[in-house]
A and B are shown apart, each in its own frame.
Chain A
Amino acid sequence: DGGITQSPKYLFRKEGQNVTLSCEQNLNHDAMYWYRQDPGQGLRLIYYSQIVNDFQKGDIAEGYSVSREKKESFPLTVTSAQKNPTAFYLCASTRGGLYGYTFGSGTRLTVV
């Protein structure tokens, strides 16, 4: 079955450490997105990519980086510059047009 896989489900980061969250899709979707969600809050866009080898900053890109070397993959790195990284991270993709998004099941990142 097609879908989006995010890994790991839970991730713990030490202070000053970079960590990378994985997002893989087998839906043949062109566009992919990363969102951050704080407890009980809405979605805030971190980065998005509409095509391989191209991506744009969202509303809260500072302290994060991404790459899009393959259509299927859109990993997110949370760098040490992100001072408050504890949150739930969601990856989504779309074939574009009026189809809406498909979401992964999320990664919960905690700073220890």
Chain B
Amino acid sequence: AQSVAQPEDQVNVAEGNPLTVKCTYSVSGNPYLFWYVQYPNRGLQFLLKYITGDNLVKGSYGFEAEFNKSQTSFHLKKPSALVSDSALYFCAVIQGSNYQLIWGAGTKLIIKP
């Protein structure tokens, strides 16, 4: 069965520094991967997805993610963190013919001024 792991419950980064939020996956077949962000008391918002093609995917709010097939990873990155990037980040993978998303446990990102 497909699965997604986010190994860090929380990531702390100083404002202006680069940030990385990690995600690894286990799938049979081609991986279709997503990143979402959740601000407090809000629904999840789509950031970016990898379906095929270029391994570096660019998304909303200056975020990007690098797909690495050999390491089965899809880490979320941003060159320079903002305090407003502080939120909960979820990685997800599509499972099965019904295209249901399987979610990681989430990583809390804290950007300190």
Interface residue ranges, A against B (CB under 8 Å): 4, 6, 31, 40-43, 48, 50, 88, 90, 92, 94, 96-98, 100-106, 108
Contact = CB atoms under 8 A, between A and B. Distances in A.
Q: Which 5 A-B pairs have the closest CB atoms?
A: A103-B43, A42-B105, A103-B44, A42-B106, A105-B43
A105 B92 CA distance: 19
A84 to B, nearest CB: 19
Contacts of A106: 41-43
A98 B51 contact: yes
Contacts of A108: 41
Is chain B's interface secondary structure helix, strand, loop, or mixed overall?
A: strand
B32 to A, nearest CB: 5
Interface in B15-45: 32, 34, 36, 41-45
B103 A40 contact: no
A100 B46 contact: yes
Contacts of A97: 99
Given A42-B90, A92-B44, A105-B43, 5 more contacts: A31-B98, A42-B106, A48-B100, A50-B98, A108-B41
Nearest to B45: A103
